Amino acid sequence: MKAAARPVYLDVLRIRLPLPGWVSILHRASGALLFAALPAGVWLLGLSLSGDAGFQQAKAWAAHPPAKLGILVLVWALAHHFLAGLRHLALDVHWGLDLKRARQASLAVMLGAVLASAAAAWRLFA
C-alpha cells in the first residue's frame, strides 16, 4: 500500500529568491499598486482641472505628509514598473538572458527606482 501524497507546505517568506525574481515580483506588485491608485489619481486630476478653487484644494491635499508619502510610493511604483517593463521587453528579444546580464539589469532596475524615489523625496520633502 502506497502512502497518500501530502500537500507540500511552502513558506514563501523563507524562500531565497535571486534578484531577478524580486524584480519580477515587484514589477507585478507595482503594476497592481498603480492600477489600484488610478481612480484616485483621475479624481484628483479632475479636481485640479475643475477651476482655481479645485486646484487649490488638490494642492492643499497634496501638501499633507501622508499624501506626500503616498505620492512617493507611487513614484517608486511608476519608476520600478517602467524600468522593469523595459527589462522584460529586452528579455523578450533575447537581450541579457545570461545570468550575469540578468543580474546586472535587475540591479539597474532596483537602483534606478531608488534613485527616482530619492529625487522625488528630495523634491517633496525639501
Query: What are the angstrom distances between the C-alpha of 79 and each of 2, 12, 106?
Result: 52, 26, 13
Cell numbers representing residue 126 in the block = 525639501
Of 23, 45, 20, 33, nearest to 73 by C-alpha is 33
- Domain residue spans in the chain? 19-125
CA distance 8 to 89: 34
What fold is seen in the domain 19-125? 3 helical TM bundles of succinate and fumarate reductases (1.20.1300)
Which band of pLDDT confidence, cut at 50, 70 and 90, is reported for residue 7?
Answer: confident
Instruction: Convert the pLDDT of each residue in 110-124 to its tens digit.
Output: 999 999 999 999 999
Average of per-residue pLDDT across 1-7: 74
Instruction: Convert the pLDDT of each residue in 23-59 to its tens digit.
Output: 999 999 999 999 999 999 999 999 999 999 999 999 9
